[in-house]
Amino acid sequence: MRLKDPFSLKAADMTKRTNKPRKPRDEESSDEVSGLTCQHVSRAVDLNSVKKSVLSSVWSVCSECLKERTMIDGEPAASQDILVCLKCGFQGCNQSGIQHVVKHQQAFHPESHCITISLSTWKAWCFECSEELSTHCNKKALAQSLDFLQKHSVKATSAVSPKIIKLREEPPDYADPPKGKSSVSSALVPVKGINNLGNTCFFNAVMQNLSQTHMLIDLIQEVKEKGYKLRICPPPETNLSPLTVVLPSPEPLTAAMFAFLHNMKDPGKGCVNPKILFNQLCQKAPCFKGYQQQDSQELLHYLLDSIRVEETKRVKAGILKAFNNPTEKTADEETKRQVKAYGKEGVKMNFVDRIFVGELTNTIMCEECEHISTVKEAFIDISLPIIEERLTLLCFCVCIDKKVEKVYTSARKQMLISSLPPVITLHLKRFHQAGMNLRKVNRHVDFPLILDLAPFCSASCKNLAVGERVLYSLYGIVEHSGSMRGGHYTAYVKVRLSQCFGNKTLTPLSQGQWVYVSDTTVQMVPESRVLNSQAYLLFYEEIL
């Protein structure tokens, strides 16, 4: 099930501590109070010592590896996961087989050097408790240490690379590629931080991924202006000719989305303030008002659904204008038929449907009567359970007196993709109901960089030939760290070098740089860190 407002508890409840013995934890799940009961923070965190050590050391490099000139998998130790001891500021690697940070903790008094923060994920870990700590809900010293390390990271990395990561220069406007040959796209793809308006990291993480959705940026350039011409081609059975309609100005939320994405791409500005876009969304979805922590998947649904409604209204207005704005009283039956036919096709041409919306075929077969029911439904994302869910399926059977009876029977359920979108979003269901409580599954889930969706498509999939592979490439992740009461959303996005063949965009698999973004913090990271993230939403784009 989809959970609403999993973080809507009051601040007073978030900081409440308990001295009661903790209950045994599920191996794969952590309940809502995880990370709030660590007793080591007071003696294992010394911010002054951390500041002195960090400011006098090489940033994001394992101190021991630096002494030993250690290389890990052919890369310098600096590119691996580095943990900072919050007692003394020691920076150590956590690479399997070396683990200098573990050796450091064991060499000193274990309880005094047991808490660390990862410089790649910004997660806090207590070696004594063997669990992740919430930096938002523990003692003030822990939150202050995180804040210092993040700010120092921005300063240290900006000396090497600017906050706006620029992978290539724009060629001149007149440099058109020769026919039939490929050329590097002229689009400049920056990565910028986004200001947190107050617990809006759930929004920022999603917007980072949308900002790196190339097809979205390209289509927005086409449809953002008033007067854009849309050509609608109804199916042959309607006996209607193609109709070109002129669209009016975008609606408020869509216009704010266009402006936001433009600012994210503009190389001349620093971090982007999302206030206008966020406020427009709150007008459509009041559940996001109040600056409380919300759910990123819910945000994605509300945002795309609301924009889709606005763009549908815009297309319908253009169609009516083409017919001189007929009404129920003035239009004859033929005009009504034509407006309806053009409208049915036209609403599918909004950019949300063209990029994100696919179709699932849901088939249920009763194992007793073998009755099969099939339902088709559109999707913006596909939700995947991490733990097994037992479902009781309801089936209608006729099996002697020919009266229909409602009974519970065993049934098989199969869900296949019957229409593939250019961008597909996978939602890993980390939040679920456990009795009266909401719980989060913290277990790591492996996910591929290249995903073949052909095995999950129906035989009649609209855009799939028999025996064909359908490859999608991972380009974005929304990660949720922490617990139900004190979580934080961040993003990993892949800045790609696109190539153009005619009107098609190709994404080379070997090119691109992964970037970690936490609100205004922007940091380049290796692929290995991305694959170890606690993914919540996965964004894949079709490889043409």
Q: Which residues are catalytic?
A: 201, 488
Token pair listed for 453: 């969706």
Token pair listed for 262: 């433009």
Question: Cα–Cα distance between 524 and 519 in angstroms, integer?
Answer: 14
Nearest to 196 by CA among 508, 516, 517, 461: 517
Helix and strand tally (H, E) in the chain? 14, 28
Q: Are strands 71-72 and 394-397 parallel, antiparallel or unpaired?
A: unpaired
Question: Cα–Cα distance between 529 and 448 in angstroms, integer?
Answer: 13
First-residue to last-residue Cα distance in the chain: 34
Q: Which residues pair with 382 in a beta bridge?
A: 426
Nearest to 192 by CA among 424, 530, 491: 491
Q: Which residues pair with 82 in a beta bridge?
A: 93
The pair phi, psi for residue 420, each rounded to 5°, is -95, 130
DSSP assignment, residue 370?
-
Question: Cα–Cα distance between 250 and 230 in angstroms, integer?
Answer: 14
Nearest to 82 by CA among 123, 44, 111, 41: 123
Residue 168 · residue 492 · CB < 8 Å: no
Distances from the Cα of 438 to the Cαs of 16, 367, 427, in angstroms? 18, 33, 17
| Helices within 168-251 (DSSP H only) | 201-211, 214-223
Nearest to 85 by CA among 109, 55, 116: 116
Token pair listed for 105: 């903790």
Nearest to 423 by CA among 536, 542, 302, 299: 542
- CA 43, 44, 47, 51 dihedral sign is positive
